[in-house]
Amino acid sequence: MAKNTNDEQFKNVISHAKEYGFIFPSSEIYDGLSAVYDYGQLGAELKNNIKTYWWKAMVQMHENIVGIDAAIFMHPKVWKASGHVDGFNDPMIDNKDSKKRYRADQLLEDKIERYKKDGKTEKAEKLQQDMDDALKAENLPLLKTLIEEHEIACPVSGTRNWTEVRQFNLMFSTQFGAMAEGSEEVYLRPETAQGIFVNFLNVQKTGRMKIPFGIAQIGKAFRNEVIARQFIMRMREFEQMEMQFFVRPGEDAKWFKYWKEARLKWHQALGTDPEKYRYHDHVKLAHYANAATDIEFEFPFGFKEVEGIHSRTDFDLSQHQEYSGKKMQYFDAELNEEGKPYGNYIPYVIETSIGLDRMFLLTLINALEEEDLSEGDKQDSRTLLRLHPCLAPYKVAIFPLTKKDGLPEKAREIMNSLKLDFNCIYEEKDAIGKRYRRQDAIGTPFCLTIDHQTLEDNTVTIRHRDTMEQQRIEIKDLHYIIGNKVSWKNLLR
Ligand code: GAP
């Protein structure tokens, strides 16, 4: 089994995603919209299955975690309180000749990488340090000076004719209300987390939740990324799966460790090569965090963040308490019973935040392979999407051997008996071999062939995607065999 070189592999994934209806560029007939993508008929199914896997693991399997679905629009003060209005910025710089815009830190990062490749380690380290200092101090002129000193040219125009570096807020805003006068500026949420924080007491009280407990949510988020690249890796409209876990102050370190381990296990249960994952513990922490780590996956373009686990202290709830004037405190009856003085407190929060689209990309990259089936002089191969059966868009493909002799009718009868429990696809066009290959390419774990013998003895041929093994089995056993393989029990226990 051969995997292509990294660049080729990534290109293959992108074209496969388009060819088979997983992902299309948004508004493609108008030449697309940068960093916005649509999920097609198979993409929507795969994405739903990833969501289900996350929701089951986080909500269904934890008695003390509940899920919500908050609105995308929120009161503008939310984003003042959270720090996004003042601090959710990227430093950007424009090239005056090409009119292209770049993230200043990204230009410097690229230069650092080049220095490293050329063996200029000292230069790379020095530039890294200078850049980090400039970013930390929000010293924009220094970023420009570094770009000039290191002779960084625009990749498009080749010139070094740069504007000043400016801060660029990543939030999209729009007018709320129909009247031009009196309408208010609101933001499309840049993360789902704030919908959880502002509902903390609503959920706690109505759900009678006791600390420690969590609130989970899946939903869209929007960021006007200065540079968007690597397909669905960095988008302007994307989806997050986030969970805030509310704990007693002082127990945050314990729960941070718990979620750090639990989340990596969730990833690895899918059967991914463990070498492809790593933690990246943050050394420099945001002002509100006392610990943070990223779960990184080795994409064809290097190790990149898929998920963040952050210990956010009581920062968010305290901020909302201050800006809203409403108490965000929790009364801990158990602590009171124990006779400890602090029964009322603002909980600390451990957050797990995974990008659904990045998880989708990771899943496709991991699953897609070109399998060599050559025997002796006979060259052969197949394109295989080795998705975990729980995630596969279709679980079963149903093929009548021919379009006549009552075989399609029998095939439909079998499909009707399965389709409520398993997503099925029916195909009667082309030779069976060709139909098998098409299902391999979209990851369908089972193909059933209905032939003349089926009419006589109620058996079908079941063909397994990964091994290509074929068995004759009775129709009455189908539910059991398929159900076992696609059961969530295989992932969650
Ligand atoms: N509430 C915390 C938060 O939003 P983040 O690190 O900014 O943290 C969490 O985002 C996750 O969301 C990331 O690990 C990444 O998977 C995903 N993500 C962030 N920006 C994204 C973008 N522009 N496109 C796709 N996914 C993105």
Show pLDDT as tens, one digit a residue, over the chain (493 residues).
Answer: 444 588 888 999 999 999 999 999 999 999 999 999 999 999 999 999 999 999 999 999 999 999 999 999 999 999 999 999 998 998 999 999 999 999 999 999 999 999 999 999 999 999 999 998 898 888 999 999 999 999 999 999 999 999 999 999 999 999 998 766 667 899 999 999 999 999 999 999 999 999 999 999 999 999 999 877 789 999 999 999 999 999 999 999 999 999 999 999 999 999 999 999 999 999 888 888 999 999 999 999 999 999 999 999 999 999 999 999 999 999 998 877 766 655 789 999 999 999 999 999 999 999 999 999 999 999 999 999 999 999 999 999 999 999 999 999 999 999 999 999 999 999 999 999 999 999 999 999 999 999 999 999 999 999 999 999 999 999 999 999 999 999 999 999 7
Is the CB–ligand 1 distance for residue 82 below 6 Å?
no
Residue ranges in 20-103 assigned as alpha helix (H): 41-55, 76-81, 84-87
Residue 154 confidence (pLDDT) = 95
Angle at the Cα of 116 from the Cα atoms of 115 and 122, rounded to 5 degrees? 75
Please give the pLDDT value at position 343.
78
Q: What is the pLDDT of residue 135?
A: 86
With a CB cutoff of 8 Å and minimum separation 6, the contacts of 161 are: 95, 96, 97, 154
pLDDT at 213: 98
Please name the residues in contact with 53: beta carbons below 8 A apart, sequence gap of 6 or more.
266, 390, 391, 488, 491, 492
* Tokens read off for 12: 């293959």
Closest residue to atom 4 of ligand 1, CA basis: 191
Please state, in angstroms and rounded to a whole number, the distance separating the CA atoms of residues 80 and 192. 15
| Smallest CA separation from ligand 1 atom 21, residue | 234
Distances (CA, A) of 357 to 68, 207, 447: 20, 30, 28
Q: What is the pLDDT of residue 179?
A: 66
Report pLDDT for 335: 79
- For the chain, counts of helices (H) and of strands (E): 17, 23
Distance 246 CA to ligand 1 centre (A): 21
Indicate if ligand 1 lies below 6 Å from the C-beta of 305: yes
Q: How many CB atoms lie within 10 A of CB 439?
A: 22
pLDDT of 3: 47
Task: Please report the atom of ligand 1 found closest to the CA of residue 225.
Answer: 23
Mutate to test the pocket of ligand 1, among 74, 353, 359, 362 (most ligand atoms within 8 A of CB): 353
- Ligand 1 atom nearest the C-alpha of 308 is 14
CB 239 less than 6 A from any atom of ligand 1: no
Ligand 1 center to 478 CA (angstroms): 41
Query: At 425, phi and psi to the nearest 5?
Result: -130, 140
Which of 23, 50, 103, 240 to mutate to test ligand 1, by most ligand atoms within 8 A of the CB atom? 240
Ligand 1 contacts CB of residue 355 (under 6 A): yes
| Total-model pTM | 0.92
Looking at residue 2, its pLDDT comes to 45
